[in-house]
Amino acid sequence: MGYFKDVTPESVGISSKGIMKFLDRMEQNQIELHSFMVIRHGQCAAKGWWKPYDEKFRHPLYSFSKSLTATAIGFAQQEGILSVDEKIVDIFPELLPEHPSEYLKKITLHHLLIMGCGHETEISDNSENWISTFLHHPVLHEPGTFYKYNTAGTNMLAAVLRRKTGQNVTEFLKPRLLEPLGITSLTCALLGDGTERGGGGMKMVTEDMAKFTYFLSRQGEWEGKQLLRKEWFERACHKQIETEGDSEGHVKDWAQGYGYQCWMGRYPGSFRADGAYGQFGVVFPDLDLIVILTSSTEQTQEELSALQEDLIPYVQKEAGELAPSPLAETVKEYTAQLALPPRRGTRNPFMEEKVSKHVYVSVPVLNDRLPDSAEVLIGGSGLFQFEVSPIQEMRFAFGSDKMYWKVLEGGKEKEFVLSMRKDFAYSETDGHIYAGSAAWRTVNSLEMEIRRMDGLSGGRMIVRFQKGNLLLEAEDTLISVGGLGISPRQALTVFGIKES
């Protein structure tokens, strides 16, 4: 049992019809959700995880991380460690250009918090010198007057905290926020100088996302104790800068303004922690309602629209319960069976026996370069580091309901287990949990889908067995125009049969 007590939707004034309408709309629009939680009055009205994802796996947060980083700054200001009115030139004097511009001299932590430092573009330097790169980047606008979404600016907030305290964001938050809320799953990737990627490198489980979002909705209060003073949330969760008509072309739920690393929403008074590909903690203050979503989609506006158009109309504004509904049991049954579609096809005993007899080796003459490692081929958005030792050999084995993909790379063998029963099978390799599904597409073509469970996407591979060789093609399961954290893959890799 989790922190939030499970109740029926009607017992907290939500019609189960609204839950089902939202979930149906997600399915009709083929939006890949991984989890959701609907929490009202501190109780969980509905929740679910789409297999192979489940409640124990950390999920990439992307820019949801920013709201946690901002909260760390709030605690630091509360304790007199820093002030949001401090200028960054005073914090990193040794890294400044020889002749700092007047605009650069004016940038404060407040400007970083509201994405208004005056940059027109973001830096992409993740090296150990990235802070210097940020400080040398042109500041073309008066700070506070021009909105530009700026992940590096949030990373600068993490760097400021580290400079002031000697601690990274997650370490600093541990006694102040994480331990009081019982959040144990938070991790964060590092930049080149050891600073945490406070702008987008965090991961946590869904319920811990819900705890943090609930903390935001209570304006810093937790179980009767005010951990972070309310004055902080009067800035953090209310519009500080305009985003409509900005340089990003934001519309709808991204054109309602920005607070301290929180977005405002179209529903009056609503705000959210918001990460790429649909990592949301949405707060509806007047309804005492929060909704948590993790997903892998570019259709993020559709998710927010569905909440407002299909769920919110079924939330009773007045206090009190609704009459019990048989739909509540439908919601419970439906959410217990959520699953992503696995690979579908038929078994192919003849080819399975045939390919199991062979070891396939890289054919350098036919490849432009050595084949990618299995970890790169599987890939996944939200993963920042990959082993890159090229695959030297691979083998396939088949059981009654599973197949086994075995690769040799860097002199070490790895094995991935894939279900062939129209679901996913789990396996562990190098300390990471993977889920795999496989099926034969044609007599000579095998399709594999493998996902690392701490990423939000994975690799879909087509293996074509031809006379004397094997062709392997890999692509990401996420249809994306952004490419955030997605590993590059070879379009086609050729392997030959190893001679006995």
Residue 122: which pLDDT band, with cuts at 50, 70 and 90? very high
Interval 363-393: pLDDT, tens: 765 556 677 899 999 988 998 888 888 899 9
Residues 411 and 87: their CA atoms lie apart, in Å, by 52
Q: What percent of the chain has pLDDT over 70?
A: 97
Least confident range from 206-215, 423-432, 480-489: namely: 480-489
Q: What is the mean pLDDT of the chain?
A: 95
CB 459 within 8 A of CB 277: no
Here the tokens at position 73 are: 């700054």
**Structural domain spans, the chain:** 5-62+205-336, 349-497
Task: For residue range 218-231, list pLDDT tens digits in order.
Answer: 999 999 999 999 99
Three-state DSSP state, 216: helix
Structure tokens at 205: 């489980």
In the predicted structure, residue 423 carries a pLDDT above the cut 90: yes
Are 64 and 203 contacting, i.e. CB atoms less than 8 angstroms apart?
no
Q: What are phi and psi of 31, to 5 degrees?
A: -90, 125
Q: What is the pTM of this model?
A: 0.96
Instruction: Choose among 455, 487, 483: nearest CA to 201.
Output: 455
Q: What are phi and psi of 415, to 5 degrees?
A: -130, 130
pLDDT score for 499: 75
Residue among 287, 325, 312, 329 at smallest CA distance from 40: 287
pLDDT, residue 422, reads: 86
Distance CA 480, CA 212 (A): 28
pLDDT at 365: 56
Q: Whats the size of the chain, residue-wise?
A: 500
Token couple for 71: 């909260």
The answer, yes or no, to whether residue 176 has pLDDT greater than 90, is yes
Cα 275 to Cα 187: distance, rounded to the nearest angstrom: 15
Burial group, residue 52, by CB count within 10 angstroms (0-12, 13-18, 19+): buried
Residue 256 clears pLDDT 60, i.e. is over it: yes
Architecture of domain 5-62+205-336: 3-Layer(aba) Sandwich (3.40)
pLDDT digits (tens, 9 = 90+) for 14-29: 999 999 999 999 999 9
Same fold, 5-62+205-336 and 349-497: no
Q: What is the pLDDT of residue 102?
A: 98
Q: How far apart are CA 366 and CA 359, in angstroms?
A: 18
Q: pLDDT band for position 279 (50/70/90)?
A: very high
Q: Tell whether omega for the bond before 390 is within 30 degrees of 0, i.e. cis.
A: no
319: DSSP letter:
S
User: Which pLDDT value is given to residue 468?
Assistant: 84
Is it the case that residue 201 has pLDDT exceeding 60?
yes
d(CA 265, CA 300): 13
Are 407 and 393 within 8 A, CB to CB?
yes
pLDDT of residue 63: 98
Residue 472 has pLDDT above 70, yes or no: yes
Residue of 439, 437, 466 lying closest to 450 (CA atoms): 437
Residue showing tokens 């419970």: 332
480 or 450, greater pLDDT: 450
What CA–CA distance (Å, rounded) separates 99 from 19? 57
Just give the CATH number of 349-497: 2.40.128.20
What is the rounded radius of gyration, in angstroms, for the C-alpha atoms of the chain? Answer: 25
CA 279-318-222 angle, to 5 degrees, is: 50
Q: Per-residue pLDDT for 500 more than 90?
A: no
pLDDT tens per residue, range 33-82: 999 999 999 999 999 999 999 999 999 999 999 999 999 999 999 999 99
Q: Provide the pLDDT for residue 152.
A: 98
Element counts in the chain: helices (H) and strands (E)? 15, 22
User: Which tens digits make up the pLDDT trace of 136-157?
Assistant: 999 999 999 999 999 999 999 9
On the question of pLDDT at 249 being above 90, the answer is no
Compute CA distances 9 → 285, 308, 335, 438, 488, whole Å: 18, 17, 13, 37, 44
